[in-house]
């Protein structure tokens, strides 16, 4: 049986009123008597009447909804960002429509088109690990779609962006490992053309050079799908562990790379931190309960989501075209635990 929502016509028929009278009563018009208003509102409450969002969007040219596009909802970082976005959106009267790319460029383009077809007022997005062509994003943006990028950003596009200080986070993580006595430090990043990969690799390199440690390209590996697939992390780990100068510690540059690197070490019986130190970018809440407890670079995901939502809604509600854009850079936090201490 198909669900049919209660309409203004249904209320009018039930109460013996005209549709225009019901419509004005629901809008609290001064033209309608208090008694009639109360009768209409009471019936609307009893029947769980809700205004038709499609009709409203056609009338007001706004849907009061925003789209969010992430690589994977199950990723703790992205789920925390979404929580931040929803907290602001709900407070401002907007609904949130969520889509995921699963690290696929094709799915990302499809999701963008879907969100646009749903007449969302704007989109907050983090690009997939496969994305190096930003034309689908720029096409929508140039047609007037309000957009804000976060985390993995479209670097060449002029729009509001919210990121973490990736370079500093990786620099601090590498410096901590060096301070703790590790010398042959490797780094595993997401795909090489992602903004976060470039910045985190650079932070890693800067820390090595500042401590007079030669950068060894054999100790840098990439995962084309951001570590979402265990197999690609396993391939990266095998490559690093078979290099001529085997690493004694690893920096993992994403949630999934971090947890899958730890999984690989357990599978191969590589003791952490005795045989291999490990620190990773991760927003998992249970990292301190792992054995050994996991050292992490933690991003302020909730705050990133809140700021991205605030910037997007300021664009949507602006009376003038927005021509000046912000890049908001938030700090990362290092949580040192057993996995990075010899």
CA dihedral sign, ordered 72, 77, 79, 82: negative
CA dihedral sign, ordered 8, 11, 13, 17: negative
The pLDDT tens digits of the residues spanning 175-227 come to: 999 999 999 999 999 999 899 999 999 999 999 999 999 999 999 999 999 89
Q: Pick the residue with more confidence: 63 or 60?
A: 63
* 166 pLDDT above the threshold of 60: yes
Cβ atoms 227, 260 nearer than 8 A: yes
Q: Which domains does the chain have, with CATH numbers?
A: 8-51 (1.10.260.40), 63-164+301-331 (3.40.50.2300), 166-298+334-340 (3.40.50.2300)
Strand partners, 295: 279
* 31 pLDDT above the threshold of 60: yes
Instruction: Using a pLDDT cut of 70, give the percent of the chain over it.
Output: 95
Task: Kindly state the average pLDDT of the residues 252-270.
Answer: 95
Cβ atoms 18, 33 nearer than 8 A: no
The predicted pLDDT at position 10 comes to: 85
Strands (E), the chain: 65-70, 95-100, 122-125, 146-150, 160-164, 185-189, 220-222, 249-252, 277-281, 295-298, 327-330, 333-335
Closest Cα partner for 88 from 298, 318, 330, 304?
A: 304
The pLDDT tens digits of the residues spanning 223-256 come to: 999 898 999 999 999 999 998 889 999 999 999 9
* 61 pLDDT above the threshold of 70: no
Closest Cα partner for 162 from 228, 234, 108, 84?
A: 84
* 298 pLDDT above the threshold of 70: yes
């Amino acid at each position: 049986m198909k669900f049919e929502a209660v309409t203004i016509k249904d209320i009018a028929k039930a109460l013996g009123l005209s549709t225009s009278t019901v419509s004005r009563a629901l809008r609290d018009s001064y033209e309608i008597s208090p008694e009639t208003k109360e009768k209409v509102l009471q019936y609307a409450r009893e029947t769980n009447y809700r205004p038709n969002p499609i009709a409203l969007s056609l009338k007001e040219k706004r849907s009061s909804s925003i789209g969010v596009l992430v690589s994977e909802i199950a990723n703790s970082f992205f789920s925390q960002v979404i929580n931040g976005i929803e907290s602001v959106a709900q407070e401002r009267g907007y609904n949130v429509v969520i889509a995921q790319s699963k690290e696929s460029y094709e799915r990302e383009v499809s999701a963008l088109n879907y969100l646009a077809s749903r007449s969302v007022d704007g989109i907050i997005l983090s690009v997939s690990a496969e994305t190096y062509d930003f034309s689908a994003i720029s096409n929508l943006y140039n047609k007037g779609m309000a957009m804000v990028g976060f985390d993995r950003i479209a670097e060449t596009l002029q729009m509001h962006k919210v990121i973490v200080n990736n370079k500093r986070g990786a620099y601090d993580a590498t410096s901590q490992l060096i301070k703790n006595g590790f010398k042959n430090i490797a780094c595993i990043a997401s795909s090489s053309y992602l903004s976060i990969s470039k910045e985190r690799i650079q932070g890693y390199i800067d820390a090595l050079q500042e401590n007079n440690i030669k950068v060894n390209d054999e100790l840098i590996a990439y995962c084309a799908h951001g570590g979402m697939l265990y197999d690609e992390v396993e391939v990266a780990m095998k490559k690093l562990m078979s290099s001529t100068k085997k690493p004694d510690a690893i920096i993992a540059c994403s949630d999934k790379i971090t947890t899958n690197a730890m999984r690989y070490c357990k599978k191969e019986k590589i003791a952490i931190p005795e045989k291999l130190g490990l620190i990773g970018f991760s927003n998992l809440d249970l990292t301190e309960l792992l054995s050994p407890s996991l050292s992490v670079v933690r991003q302020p995901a909730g705050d990133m989501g809140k700021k991205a939502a605030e910037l997007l809604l300021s664009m949507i509600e602006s009376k003038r075209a927005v021509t000046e854009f912000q890049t908001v850079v938030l700090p990362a936090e290092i949580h040192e635990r057993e996995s990075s201490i010899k």
